[in-house]
Amino acid sequence: MYKMETGRFGEIDVDEEKIFDFKNGILAFEESKKFIILNSAKESFFWLQSVDDPKLSLPCINPDIIAENYEVNLSDEQFAEINVDENSEMIVLCVVRIPENIRESTVNLIAPIIINATAKQGMQVVMENTDYNVRHRLFE
């Protein structure tokens, strides 16, 4: 455990055991390779906090609260990128974009953040062969 000064949350405790390696970063932030998940005040709402860029954090939600039976549709090769096997414990988060008017908020269902918690590896993939889109509105 060590302390890190973040841009958004001030000083936080980082548990090395809970750092996930993103070998390709995430889209638009390819140089950021290590992330942790910070809990928020509410279940299903999280911050994906970069460890190598303390200023970088993205609000995310568990997509299940928005899309019933949310389906991650990836090829075996894509799952192999983060060494997923039948015993892997998986975490799936979707990035939320929150404009000034929060009723315009959208969640990116086509490009989930997928984490193999067992192998401590993660990636963001823009899925193919899916009907989800980039800007799914949180409010009608």
**Would you tell me which residues interact with another protein (CB under 8 A)?**
8-9, 26-29, 40-45, 47, 56-59, 65, 95-100, 102-103, 105-106, 108, 110-111, 124, 126, 128-129, 133-135, 138-139
Residue placing its CB nearer to another protein in the complex, 80 or 134: 134
Minimum gap (Å) between residue 58 Cβ and another protein: 4
Q: Which region holds residue 120: left if phi is over 0, alpha if psi is between -120 and 50, else beta? A: left
Residue appearing with tokens 């959208």: 106
Minimum gap (Å) between residue 121 Cβ and another protein: 19
Query: How many whole angstroms separate alpha carbon 124 and alpha carbon 134?
Result: 13
Minimum gap (Å) between residue 54 Cβ and another protein: 12
Residue placing its CB nearer to another protein in the complex, 86 or 99: 99
CA 42 to chain centre: 16
Residue placing its CB nearer to another protein in the complex, 16 or 128: 128
Strand, coil or helix: what is 130? Answer: coil
Residues 53, 25, 47: CA angle, nearest 5 degrees: 60
